[in-house]
Structure 1
Amino acid sequence: MKMWIVLLLLSVCSETVICYSDGKVEVACGDMTPQHGHEPITKNPPFNITADKSQFSPGDKIKVTLSMASSSEGKHYFKGFLIEARNAGNLNEIVGSFKLIDPEISQLLTCDSKEGSAVSHTGKSHKTEVQVIWVAPSDSPSSVQFLVTVAQGYKEYWVKSPGPVVSQNGVAPPPQTTFGGSIGAQTTTSSILSRSFTSEGCGSMKSCLRDPEGCDPQNDTACHFLSFRALGSSVMFELSGPAEGYVSFALSQDKWMVIYIDACNNFLFLILL
């Protein structure tokens, strides 16, 4: 009887250590979920994940920072973490590799048979910030999103929290999402495009609507062009075309697109349908 009790205690302790203590969490590379046997927390995470660049070229290095939010309540530290970079258009695809800044608290993992493709903790010490370097590969997709799992304790962890999206130079960056305090808050900026949109990737990387059929806005000023593609949990649209004023598009939940226009004509207000 005593032998069974000892074996049971060893089993429980072993599971706890394997789950997060030494950071050897290759088993969680795919879904990024700790093997803790508890449900992850879904409320706003108390941490931020940022990148020091929004655009890159193959071979570039981007510093990624995971840190506790200054406005976080409760515990002001985390113990375990897992950082990955994935194709923003296909979040099942791991992209690139990492280099360590502080090997005392972080270590490289081999995920999806790619050496150094993820970073995790080395122990359960209290941490407030971790920085790593992501290296863009030569075959990088147009946009990459950083994902992170963070554990404050055995029952307190957030899984696969989305971080910033970075895009290759020349690719229109999607709206950036920041986390910590108000999850999902988006900040968008407007700027003058350095070049025209292009039909390159239509039918493979993005869906396109064009008039005239098959036109390319990059070399046809009369081309009306609309494209869209998924970037993680967001969708990026490209819209261009000849117009004296502006061009626009709208989304509808049914098969009909109803447009209301208020016009003033000799003080009479008309509604056109």
Structure 2
Amino acid sequence: MAMTGAVRPAILLGLAMVIGVAYWHGAEAYSAGAPSSACGSMMPGHGFASQPVSSGGTNGGFTVTTSSSTYQVGATYTMTIAGSTNAFAGFMCQARTTSNGQLSVFTGTVPAGTQKISGCTDAYTHTSKTAKTSVTFSWKVNSASVTSFKFVCTFVQSYNTYFVQVPGSDLTLMATPTTVAPTTAAPTTAVPMTGTTQPGATAGPTTAAPSTAPPTTLAPTTMAPTTMAPTTMAPTTQRGPASTSMVSASDCGTGKSCYRDPPSCTTDCTYFYSQKPIGSTQVEIELSAKTQGWVAVGFSTDRIMGDDDVMGCNVASDGTTVIVKNAFNQGKSNVIDLSTNPAPFITNTFSSFVNGQIYCRFTRTLTTNSNRDKNLAAPNKYHLLFGTNTAASGRGGSNIGMPGKHNSIPPITTAAYTATDTSVANFNANIKVGLIKVHGFFMIIAWIGLAGIGLFMPRFMKKAWDVPKDEVAWWFKLHRPLMVTVWLMSLLGFIFILAYKKGKWSTGSSAHPGIGLATFILCMIQPFMAMIRKKLNKSQRKIFNWTHRTVGLAAHALGAIAVYLGMDLFRQNYGLTTAVLYLWAAWAAIEAAIWIGYEIKLLVSPVDPTEKIAADASIRKALLMVYAATCIVLGIVMAIMVVAHRTGSSED
């Protein structure tokens, strides 16, 4: 019996969802504006690192300008954000003090296409992702206590290209003019001031000639006491000649704990990390790598990137200076505060970069007053993440996190350690992707290799074979084991990813977890629906058939989309080749051509319901062979590409 016309739209809708997935991924951004969760970092939750941003840099051609560099209390000025070479789809702007506090200064009419972010002190964002070239705001300062600040804006050029915290110029409070009446000064004798005598000056009495200048011109302001403030309270930075001999593994395991790559290196290491306690309140950290970009270490409570305290150093945009940084991983993105570079609890920094070898050494207090920086004092233990970006794209200024993504997944210690442990000669670290690969293998085979074939049977193959009386039809003999296998593989894939995530829900911007969960739920329902089929009467059977088919088609469409998004995530995070996505597109195109093409054929030439075997049975069998071969071969190839992909020198 031909499928009812009511079900055909469901098939076409499901296939349209599969074909349209390439357009889905680009629409995952917050098209209606930044959320309140971005108030502090101003980082889009897209899972990519910010493009390099620096004060005075090109910053992708995006600028933040004001109508005046000084301001008076109560006066209104304008601030304009613009893209000189590129339009921007989204933005977020705030006013911030020199200590990185958020200010409330925006005033007047809200510009078109702009909205205030609820939950932030005073921040504005876009209302749609329509391309913009400039937006102008009005602002004023209402208190003389605000003596200086700047505007900071994030520009989103595209889903994976954005510039975080592009700074405007420093704005300062205009000094209130004062009028001093001219006076005639009688000859006076200046009293010598202890500690203010300039070299070569006479400390004896001085006679001042009559003057009409304000008396303040006689004050020794150039010798303000602030020049005598102790400098030991500020972080100190030293730079010296770079040499691989700065790295020494001679006391690894005795005076300090280390991580070395390769494990046998002593001085000439591709990557080197060491930690050594300094007294009872500090730890000295060494980092070195053969890189043109950056090297960093992260302290994590688990073996998954996210909510990690990160310290490292990167080559600045000038290609010579090395910047020591304290940052943190917000999800899969690394961000840093504009006001802390490095943080005040990082001192005694030494850095160098020569001949492609970056080296830095610094002291970090074990405890801090920051909520986001980890307490490294014992007994707290952390897994260590050893990351690097070896390309010049990893260079950047001091007001962003580690620029650019690591070009290979950071090895992570298998066990957690205290930051003051000195007993480890070389930390055992590897890349934890084994469970992800197994999850991907099962899901690809299930939803690309088998699910479509299983659905093809009841739709097109019911009248392809003769069925002797009282025997199970061939289409059902194939349909049932195929769908049971899909069900089992989906269950196993779900268990493996649940084990990898330790039961935690993924918080990234990708739709993969949500669509994958929806697929899993629909898949789990199907066999239980099938169990009640025989107990239904004729009228109930019609409802069952419609529901069973619709759920199956929806699960297949969503499963295919989830596979695509999952492989794309693996590409972003672990460097999987984009060729696997092209294979998926080829599979989707062939599936769409076969399914939609034959649906049209059935609409034009309906099957005679009285026929035991369809007149075009041979065509259906041929289509089945082509379709099954396509699904199985491409599904296996994609699964092998994921499993065989090497993310680093060591995996688990």
Give the TM-score category using the shorter length. 0.5 to 0.7
Specify which structure has the bigger relative contact order, considering alpha-carbon pairs within 8 angstroms and separated by 6 or more residues. Answer: 1
Task: Report if aligned partners of 1:144, 1:165 keep a CA contact under 8 Å in 2.
Answer: yes
- Which amino acid counterpart does residue 220 of structure 2 have in structure 1? A
Q: Which residue among 55, 80, 87 is the counterpart of 2:97? A: 87
Distance 1:169 1:131 in 2: 22
Structure 1 vs Structure 2 CA RMSD: 4.0
1:31 corresponds to? 41
4+ residue segments displaced more than 3 Å = 12-17, 99-103, 210-213, 217-220
Distance 1:155 1:227 in 2: 47
1:221 corresponds to? 219
Rg (Cα) greater in structure: 2
Distance 2:173 2:124 in 1: 22
Task: Report if aligned partners of 1:84, 1:148 keep a CA contact under 8 Å in 2.
Answer: yes
1:185 corresponds to? none
Q: Which residue among 73, 77, 90 is the counterpart of 1:62? A: 77
2:370 corresponds to? none
Distance 1:78 1:140 in 2: 34
Relative to structure 1, is the Cα distance of residues 227 and 233 closer, same or farther in structure 2, using a 3 angstrom cutoff?
Answer: farther
Distance 1:64 1:160 in 2: 15
2:141 corresponds to? 136
Relative to structure 1, is the Cα distance of residues 220 and 67 closer, same or farther in structure 2, using a 3 angstrom cutoff?
Answer: same
Q: Which residue among 160, 165, 179 is the counterpart of 1:160? A: 165
Task: Report if aligned partners of 2:111, 2:135 keep a CA contact under 8 Å in 1.
Answer: no
* Alpha-carbon shift at residue 137 of structure 1 (Å): 3.1
Task: Report if aligned partners of 1:100, 1:107 keep a CA contact under 8 Å in 2.
Answer: no
* Alpha-carbon shift at residue 160 of structure 1 (Å): 0.6
* Alpha-carbon shift at residue 153 of structure 1 (Å): 0.9
- Which amino acid counterpart does residue 132 of structure 2 have in structure 1? K
- Which amino acid counterpart does residue 92 of structure 2 have in structure 1? L
Over residues 174-213 of structure 1, what are the superposed CA-to-partner deviations in whole Å (9 max), with x where a residue is unaligned? xxxxxxxxxxxxxxxxxxx989xxxxxxxxxxxxxx9559
1:99 partnered with 2:97: no
Task: Report if aligned partners of 1:98, 1:108 keep a CA contact under 8 Å in 2.
Answer: no
1:127 corresponds to? 132
* Alpha-carbon shift at residue 26 of structure 1 (Å): 1.4
Distance 1:15 1:78 in 2: 15
Over residues 137-159 of structure 1, what are the superposed CA-to-partner deviations in whole Å (9 max), with x where a residue is unaligned? 32642101110100011101000
Q: Which residue among 22, 25, 32 is the counterpart of 1:22? A: 32
Q: How does 1:253-272 map to 2 (within 5 A)?
A: none
Q: Which residue among 55, 59, 62 is the counterpart of 1:47? A: 62
Distance 2:339 2:171 in 1: 14
Task: Report if aligned partners of 1:50, 1:66 keep a CA contact under 8 Å in 2.
Answer: yes
Distance 1:21 1:233 in 2: 29
* Alpha-carbon shift at residue 106 of structure 1 (Å): 1.1
- Which amino acid counterpart does residue 131 of structure 1 have in structure 2? T
Specify the SS of the correspondent of 1:27. Answer: helix
- Which amino acid counterpart does residue 222 of structure 1 have in structure 2? P
Over residues 62-110 of structure 1, what are the superposed CA-to-partner deviations in whole Å (9 max), with x where a residue is unaligned? 20001112xx3xxx2110001110112x01x111231365643111124
* Alpha-carbon shift at residue 34 of structure 1 (Å): 0.6
Most deviating of 53-62 and 118-127: 53-62
How many residue pairs get aligned? The number is 177
Structure 1 gaps of 5+ residues are 1-5, 172-192, 196-209, 235-252, 254-273
* Alpha-carbon shift at residue 222 of structure 1 (Å): 2.9
Over residues 102-143 of structure 1, what are the superposed CA-to-partner deviations in whole Å (9 max), with x where a residue is unaligned? 64311112454x3xx111111000100010112213264210
- Which amino acid counterpart does residue 221 of structure 1 have in structure 2? A
Distance 2:171 2:226 in 1: 19
Specify the SS of the correspondent of 1:65. Answer: strand
Relative to structure 1, is the Cα distance of residues 167 and 218 closer, same or farther in structure 2, using a 3 angstrom cutoff?
Answer: farther
Specify the SS of the correspondent of 1:104. Answer: coil
Distance 2:163 2:113 in 1: 19
TM-score by length of 1: 0.54
Distance 2:47 2:133 in 1: 25
Relative to structure 1, is the Cα distance of residues 163 and 14 closer, same or farther in structure 2, using a 3 angstrom cutoff?
Answer: same
Structure 2 gaps of 5+ residues are 1-16, 180-193, 198-214, 228-233, 235-337, 341-348, 350-652
Specify the SS of the correspondent of 1:37. Answer: coil
Relative to structure 1, is the Cα distance of residues 194 and 101 closer, same or farther in structure 2, using a 3 angstrom cutoff?
Answer: same
1:149 partnered with 2:154: yes
- Which amino acid counterpart does residue 219 of structure 2 have in structure 1? T
TM-score by length of 2: 0.24
Distance 1:56 1:125 in 2: 33
Relative to structure 1, is the Cα distance of residues 218 and 111 closer, same or farther in structure 2, using a 3 angstrom cutoff?
Answer: farther
Distance 1:111 1:166 in 2: 25
- Which amino acid counterpart does residue 152 of structure 2 have in structure 1? L
Q: Percent identity?
A: 26
Task: Report if aligned partners of 1:97, 1:118 keep a CA contact under 8 Å in 2.
Answer: no
Distance 1:165 1:59 in 2: 18
Distance 2:147 2:127 in 1: 32
